[in-house]
Amino acid sequence: MRAIGVTEPGGPERLQELDVPEREPGPGEIRIAVRAAAVNPTDTGFREGMGVPDDLDPPYVPGMDAAGVIDAIGPGVELSVGDRVAAVVNPRRPEGGAYAAKVVVPQTGVALVPDGLDLVAATTVPLNGLTVLRALDLLDLPPAGTLAITGAAGAVGGYAIELATARGFRVVADAKPEDEEFVRAAGARTVVPRGDDFGDAVRAAEPGGVDGLLDAALLGTKALGAVRDGGVVVAVRPFDGEADRGIRVRMVTPADYLADGVRLKELLAMAADGRLTIRVAGTLPAAQAAEAHRRLAAGGVRGRIVLEF
């Protein structure tokens, strides 16, 4: 079976087509014939060896977002062969992640893709959408609370604005001038310049500081000034530095939601009816995964590049 991965961690040039074993689904598992796999920053880190378990032997197949068609099911599965589905895939396992012609996953982390939502669009939802929902849970903001978002024009940031606004929170988001229109349209009440002065800019708009911060741009302590005393910060990577003023720092990890097919179903429904804005930055054949990784590393990508199988 064809997959895209590395036999040795390194740069994008190490990504290559591999011939890997095809696995049959066991009890409670389904096998997806992958049609689309989104490219995320976590994929580039995994390619470089970040987070690869010591006991995991190569090859390493990246990819955490898959969408396709069920082609086999194990005992006890309620879904059917032929169903269009999307799933979060764990690449830190012997068979690897979503950059493969077929992936076997537990049915608990799978959701049907609604009619009217194509598979390329659907594959951009699982990892980033579930990250945001988990972040909002960890933030535990008060009703009508204020939320600051860094990296607001990115895939996580864009979903965060829409999902937070849908819950009634007031959003203060950062943006470059060319991204301000999108960020405002997504629902941000206040937009401030992107950069290291984020904290001061937020305080100018919210003198008491915001209740919570979702740090998708990984500003770390540079953004703490935006948060009120006793507020909460949620980071999508390990937080750089120490918090003060009673501010609590929490981190989202994919392990928190690998089996959250119920909430994935809700997100896909929101995408299908336009409540969640899908942004596909482009598609490439799976064999050109290296080029997709180069584009992502170069920056400026809005939305997700999607590999097609």
The CATH number of residue 225's host domain is 3.40.50.720
Give the total number of structural domains in the chain: 2
Given a cut of 90, whether residue 240 has pLDDT beyond it is no
Q: Say what the pLDDT of residue 140 is.
A: 97
- Phi, psi dihedral angles at 26 (to 5 degrees): -95, -170
Averaged pLDDT, 193-198: 96
Q: Say what the pLDDT of residue 129 is.
A: 98
Which residues neighbour 207 within 8 Å (Cβ) at sequence distance 6 or greater?
none
pLDDT single digits (tens) 48-67: 999 999 999 999 999 999 99
Longest dimension (CA), the chain: 58
Q: How far is CA 176 from CA 14, 66, 194, 300, in A?
A: 33, 30, 6, 11
Same domain, 226 and 158: yes
Asked, for residue 228, whether it belongs to a domain, the answer is yes
Query: What is the separation, in whole angstroms, between the first and last Cα of the chain?
Result: 12
Asked, for residue 260, whether it belongs to a domain, the answer is no
Same domain, 138 and 74: no
For strands 304-308 and 16-19, give the pairing.
unpaired
Q: Say what the pLDDT of residue 219 is.
A: 95
0.75 surpassed by pTM: yes
Same domain, 18 and 32: yes
Host domain of residue 93: 2-124+278-308
Same domain, 45 and 108: yes
Same domain, 63 and 146: no
**Strand residue runs (E) in the chain:** 2-5, 16-19, 29-38, 65-73, 84-88, 102-106, 110-112, 146-150, 170-175, 190-193, 210-215, 227-235, 248-251, 280-285, 304-308
Asked, for residue 273, whether it belongs to a domain, the answer is no
Given a cut of 90, whether residue 241 has pLDDT beyond it is no
- Give SS3 for 4: strand
Same domain, 133 and 113: no
Same domain, 193 and 99: no
Averaged pLDDT, 138-145: 97
Asked, for residue 36, whether it belongs to a domain, the answer is yes
DSSP type of residue 219: -
CA distance 182 to 5: 34
CA distance 3 to 97: 9
Same domain, 47 and 105: yes
Asked, for residue 22, whether it belongs to a domain, the answer is yes
The CATH number of residue 60's host domain is 3.90.180.10
Q: Say what the pLDDT of residue 192 is.
A: 98
Same domain, 37 and 62: yes
Same domain, 133 and 104: no
Same domain, 177 and 290: no
Same domain, 15 and 33: yes
Asked, for residue 290, whether it belongs to a domain, the answer is yes
Asked, for residue 263, whether it belongs to a domain, the answer is no
Asked, for residue 99, whether it belongs to a domain, the answer is yes
